[in-house]
Amino acid sequence: MALYLSGDPDADKLLEEDPLALLIGMVLDQQVPLEWAFYGPFNLMQRLDDRLDSSGIAEMPEEALIAAFAARPALHRYPASMAKRVQALARHLVDEYGGDASKIWTTAHTGKELFDRVRALPGFGQQKAKIFIALLGKQFGVGTEGWVEVASPFGNYGTHLSVADIDGPESLALVREHKREMKAAAKKATPAKKAPAKKSVPAKKAPAKKAPAKKAPAKKAPAKKAPAKKSAPATKAPAKKSAPARKAPAKKAPAAKKAPARKSAPAKKAVARKAPARTAAAKRSAASA
C-alpha cells in the first residue's frame, strides 16, 4: 500500500506509518487543496523537533502550537483555528486512548462502534468520519465488520468520491473532477436563495425617499416672525409723543409766578409816599393853635 495524497514521498510515508499524522492530515483537509492538508503533518513534525506525539502536543502552550502552525509557509489557511483543533484532538486521544491513535480502529468491534469513535473526534463531522473510515478500509485494509455500510457512499468500491479513492495521478484527477462538479452544483443552488433578499432591499428603501414631505411644513415658520416686526414700531411711537407733552407745562409755570410779584411791589410803595401829606397837615394845625 502506498498513499498518494501529499505530493511528497516523505510526507506520504509519514501518513502511512504514523496514525496520528494521518488523523492530523484529515483534520486539516478542509478549505485548502488536499496536498497542502496532507503535507501539513510532515511539516509540523519538522517544526516540533522531528517528533509527533499526542501527549507532547496536548501539553504544549497554545500560543507555541499556534506559532508553529502560523510560521511561513503556514500549515493551513486558518493556522490559529487549526492549531487549536489539532490540540483538542491530541488531548482527546490522550484521555480516551492513552495517546495511541491506532486504538480507535484496532479495538473497535463493529462498524457502528468505529463510526461513533471517529465521529467523536474533534474536527470530524459525519461526512469526514465516513471518508476516514473508507480510507482505513480501502487503503489500510481495516476490516472491521460493517465498515462499508457505515462509510457509504464513500466506502463503496469503484467510485472516485474522496481521498479514500486516490492511489495515483489518474484517480486524483477523477476525484478532483467530482469535487468540481459538486461545487458547480452548489453554486447553481445559491442564486435561488439570494434572489428574495435582493427584492426586499428596494422595498424598504422606497418609503425612506418620501421623507422630504415632512420638511415642507418647516418652511412656513417665517409667518410667525411677521407679527413680531409690526409690534416693535407700535410700542416706540407713543414714547416719542409723551416726552414733548411733559416739557411744555414746565416752561409756562415761571411766567405765571413772576407777573403777580411785579404788580404788588409798586402798590406798597404808593401808600408809603402819602405819609408826608399827613405830616404837613399836622404841622399846620399846630401853628394855627
Cα→Cα distances 165→112, 131, 141, 160, 179, Å: 21, 10, 13, 5, 13
Cα 127 from chain centroid? Answer: 33
pLDDT of residue 187: 87
Residues contacting 124, CB < 8 A, separation 6+: 26, 27, 118, 132
143 secondary structure, DSSP code: -
154 neighbors 131 (Cβ within 8 angstroms):
yes
Say if pTM beats, i.e. exceeds, 0.95: no
Cα–Cα distance for residue pair 150/169, rounded to 1 Å = 27
Cis peptide preceding 238, ω within 30 of 0: no
Cα–Cα distance for residue pair 213/218, rounded to 1 Å = 10
pLDDT of residue 188: 87
Per-residue pLDDT of the chain (289 residues; tens, 9 = 90+): 689 999 999 999 999 999 999 999 999 999 999 999 999 999 999 999 999 999 999 999 999 999 999 999 999 999 999 999 999 999 999 999 999 999 999 999 999 999 999 999 999 999 999 999 999 999 999 999 999 999 999 999 999 999 999 999 999 999 999 989 988 998 888 765 555 556 555 555 555 555 455 554 445 544 444 444 444 444 444 444 444 444 444 444 444 344 444 444 443 443 334 444 444 444 444 444 3
Residue 156 phi/psi, 5° resolution? -70, 140
Number of H helices, E strands in the chain: 13, 0
Helix (H, G, I), strand (E, B) or coil at 101: coil
53 neighbors 87 (Cβ within 8 angstroms):
no
pLDDT of residue 7: 93
Q: Rounded to 5 degrees, what angle do the CA atoms 248, 249, 252 make? A: 100
**How does DSSP assign 1-36, residue by residue?**
----SSS-HHHHHHHHH-HHHHHHHHHH-SSS-HHH
Calculate the dihedral angle through the C-alpha atoms of 174, 180, 184, 186, rounding to the nearest 10 degrees: 100
Q: Which three cell numbers stand for residue 275?
A: 405819609
Cα–Cα distance for residue pair 25/121, rounded to 1 Å = 13
Q: Which three cell numbers stand for residue 139?
A: 487503503
Q: Rounded to 5 degrees, what angle do the CA atoms 91, 46, 167 make? A: 85
Cα–Cα distance for residue pair 53/21, rounded to 1 Å = 9
